[in-house]
Each structure stands twice: as C-alpha cells, then as structure tokens.
C-alpha cells in the first residue's frame, strides 16, 4: 500500500530523524510513504483572520498537486504541516467564496477532494494499533513515556477531529501498542511556547519547563512528540531551564517515530538520537532497549 506523503521543510533539515524513522517504519509495517513530487512549503501557519487568503495559496497548491498526481489521500508527519493542510482543505471543502478566491488566484481546480491524514491516524485507522502491537519486535517494556500532544495536532477540534481535544488518547494507545507505559500528566496538551521562541525565548522556556516538570512529576522517563517545533522547544530549552533551577534533571524528548523504529528493531545508530540535545541513549541502555 502506497500513501502519498508530504514531508515538509523541517523534516528535510532539523527534523530529519522524524522523517527517516517514519519512512523506514512504514516499510516494516507494510506500507510505503510515496513522496509528493515538486512539493513546496505549507506556509507553516494557517491564516488567523478570515479575509487573509494569500497564505492558503501554498497549501492549496500542494493539495491540488496531490489530486492531480492521482491521489485521494495525503499523509504528513509534522503537526504543523498537518494542521495547515487539514484546515486549508476544510476551507476548500466548505467555503465556496474563499475557495474560489484562492483557486482563481493560483489558477487551479480544487474542491477539497484529498483526505489529509496524520501518520498516527494511518497507524490507528488504516493499520490498526492491534496489528502494530503484533508487529513489534522489541517491546519497550519498562519505559514510562509522557505523550506530549501540543496544540496543532488537536486544535481546533471541529476542523482537525483527530481525537478528543481536552483528553486525547491516540498517542497513549500508540505507545501502549509498542509495549511502553504511558503516564498521565496534566500538561500533555499545553502550549510549548511555539514561535515565541523566536522573539521572547523566556516565554518558551517557561512553557517548556512547566510541561517537562509535569511529565517528570508523573514519573516519566521520556517525552515523545509529533511536532518539530515542540521537540525543539522542549529539548533545546533544557540547558536554559537548568540555569534557573539547578535541581532540574534533564529528560529526553524524542519523536514518536524514533520510538516506533526502536520497537520495530531498526538499528539505534540510524535513528538520529545523536541529534537530540538531551541524549536518550543512556536511558535506553539502562532500560535494556539498546545495547
């Protein structure tokens, strides 16, 4: 089974490990991520005002390309790309006036025919977490995992519809299928600070600190995420957090595909853990998950 795949810019650079592991795992699970031809940036933010249409031209062109290349689905791994593409697609489906404006401008014919899916959705709805569980080679037994959703994977719930907004469980179900133990922590859907990291780093630091402390209070060994921006904030802010709080013990923050790859027994050397600021390898060695 082939799924048309939109990696997005970050997955070609900073979040390469999210991309690599995702592609490799799919082959092990019996499907292939077929990269879309000539894709461009998704725009990285969905327009926040109703009369702004120009930022929708990029994602609409991507969606129209997907359709024209003979596909009815489009899979993403990045929460930001997923959010922008899914919401743009909703506008194309439901709002004739805005659709006409955007498609006239880019001179394409598109009415929301494509279904935008997140990789987690493919695992849950098309492969099935029970099947995934059977395919696990090396269960992540004894690993306590904080499943951090962030905002863009879930909100706004009426447009995204991936899971219940206030108490989602898809991520916990996923990590349970891999044999790890999800921990319940109240900050699992709080904002990581997002783009605040660009101009007021202290806000992002504070947000990340609260999330990480909450995860650690729930006895988590490790945090997983789907979002490159969340991963960046949560991982890279930790030295800064330590400066203001010397009792703060670092905690690894990895992509969910890295844990999937580990459970499917892909070599740890290929998983890109060396790119994590807080190295998860000592923890994984201690738990006997890598040698």
* Interacting residue ranges for another protein, rule: CB under 8 A: 158, 164, 166-167, 186, 217
Cα–Cα distance for residue pair 218/195, rounded to 1 Å = 27
Pick the closer one to another protein by CB: 134 or 166: 166
What does the CA dihedral 9, 81, 31, 188 come to, rounded to 10 degrees?
120
Helix (H) or strand (E) run with residue 3 in it: strand 2-6
Phi, psi of 4 (to 5 degrees): -60, 140
Q: Which residues pair with 4 in a beta bridge?
A: 34
Least distance from another protein to the Cβ atom of residue 187, Å: 8
Cα–Cα distance for residue pair 129/260, rounded to 1 Å = 12
Pick the closer one to another protein by CB: 143 or 223: 223
Pick the closer one to another protein by CB: 158 or 247: 158
Pick the closer one to another protein by CB: 40 or 218: 218
Pick the closer one to another protein by CB: 107 or 166: 166
Cα–Cα distance for residue pair 82/87, rounded to 1 Å = 8
Least distance from another protein to the Cβ atom of residue 148, Å: 15
Query: Concatenated DSSP letters for 150-215?
Result: TTTTT-SHHHH-SS-SSS--HHHHHHHHTT-EEE--TTTTS---TTHHHH-HHHHHHHHHHHHHHH
Pick the closer one to another protein by CB: 20 or 172: 172
Least distance from another protein to the Cβ atom of residue 149, Å: 13
Least distance from another protein to the Cβ atom of residue 166, Å: 4
Pick the closer one to another protein by CB: 141 or 217: 217
Least distance from another protein to the Cβ atom of residue 212, Å: 15
Least distance from another protein to the Cβ atom of residue 217, Å: 8
Query: Concatenated DSSP letters for 24-91?
Result: HHHHHTT-EEEEPTT-----SS--SSTT--GGGHHHHHHHHHHHHTT-SEEEE--HHHHHHHHHHHHH
Least distance from another protein to the Cβ atom of residue 164, Å: 7
Structure tokens at 263: 């459970």
């Amino acid at each position: 089974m082939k799924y048309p795949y939109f990696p997005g810019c970050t997955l070609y650079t900073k979040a390469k490990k999210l991309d690599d592991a995702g592609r490799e795992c799919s082959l092990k699970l019996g499907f292939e991520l077929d990269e879309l031809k000539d894709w461009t940036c998704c725009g990285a933010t969905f327009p926040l005002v109703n009369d702004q249409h120009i930022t929708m031209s990029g994602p609409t062109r991507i969606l129209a390309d997907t359709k024209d290349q003979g596909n009815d689905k489009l899979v993403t791994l990045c929460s930001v790309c997923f959010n922008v593409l899914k919401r743009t697609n909703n506008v194309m489906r439901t709002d004739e006036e805005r659709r006409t404006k955007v498609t006239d401008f880019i001179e394409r014919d598109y009415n929301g025919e494509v279904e935008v899916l997140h990789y987690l959705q493919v695992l849950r709805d098309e492969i099935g977490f029970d099947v995934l569980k059977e395919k696990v080679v090396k269960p992540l037994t004894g690993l306590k995992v904080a499943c951090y959703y962030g905002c863009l994977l879930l909100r706004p719930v009426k447009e995204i519809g991936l899971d219940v907004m206030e108490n989602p469980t898809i991520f916990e179900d996923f990590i349970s299928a891999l044999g790890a133990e999800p921990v319940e922590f109240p900050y699992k859907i709080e904002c990581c600070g997002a783009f605040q990291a660009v101009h007021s780093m202290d806000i992002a630091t504070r947000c990340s600190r609260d999330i990480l402390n909450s995860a650690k209070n729930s006895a988590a060994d490790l945090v997983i995420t789907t979002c490159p921006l969340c991963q960046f904030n949560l991982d890279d802010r930790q030295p800064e957090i330590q400066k203001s709080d010397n009792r703060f013990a670092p905690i690894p923050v990895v992509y969910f595909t890295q844990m999937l790859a580990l459970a499917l027994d892909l070599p740890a050397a290929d998983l890109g853990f060396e790119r994590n600021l807080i190295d998860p390898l000592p923890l994984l060695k201690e738990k006997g998950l890598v040698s």
